[in-house]
Amino acid sequence: MRYTDRLVDAGAAPSVGSVGDAYDNALAETIIGLYKTEVIRRRGPWRSFDDVEYATLEWVAAWFNTQRLMAPLGYLPPVEFEEQYYRAQAAQTEPSGIN
């Protein structure tokens, strides 16, 4: 109820299914649509459930982690941003060579 009250106070119209329900399905529906288009329809027909599972894992690993550009990450894929982060962390912890 607090969520709904806060939306009313802010003058925003909630995008939820029921009163007090904080779930917004827009992102999930977008991802599911991409998944169906890029994996299920293009790569089918499927022989088994296992084939669908493996194709799903490949798609998530490739697209979601290595190809998808994220504005909050400087338009880098998550995997590249993470690599940069760990390189920077390692550089900060390396001894400077001064005794």
| CA within 13 Å, CB half, 62 | 9
Query: Does a structural domain hold residue 81?
Result: no
Could you check whether the bond before residue 14 is cis, i.e. omega within 30 degrees of 0? Answer: no
* Per-residue confidence (pLDDT) for residue 11, from 0 to 100: 77
- pLDDT greater than 80 at residue 34: yes
* Per-residue confidence (pLDDT) for residue 97, from 0 to 100: 62
- pLDDT greater than 60 at residue 16: no
* Per-residue confidence (pLDDT) for residue 89, from 0 to 100: 92
The residue among 98 and 35 whose pLDDT is bigger is: 35
Query: Does a structural domain hold residue 43?
Result: yes
Non-local (6+) Cβ contacts of 2 within 8 A are none
Q: pLDDT band at 20, cuts 50/70/90?
A: very low
Condensed to tens digits (0 to 9), the pLDDT of residues 35-90 reads 899 899 998 899 999 999 999 999 988 887 888 888 999 999 999 999 999 999 99
- The count of domains in the chain is 1
Query: Does a structural domain hold residue 19?
Result: yes
* Other residues' Cβ atoms within 10 Å of the Cβ of residue 50: 9
Instruction: Identify residue 48 by its one-letter amino acid code.
Output: S
Query: Does a structural domain hold residue 33?
Result: yes
* pTM of structure: 0.49
Query: Does a structural domain hold residue 98?
Result: no
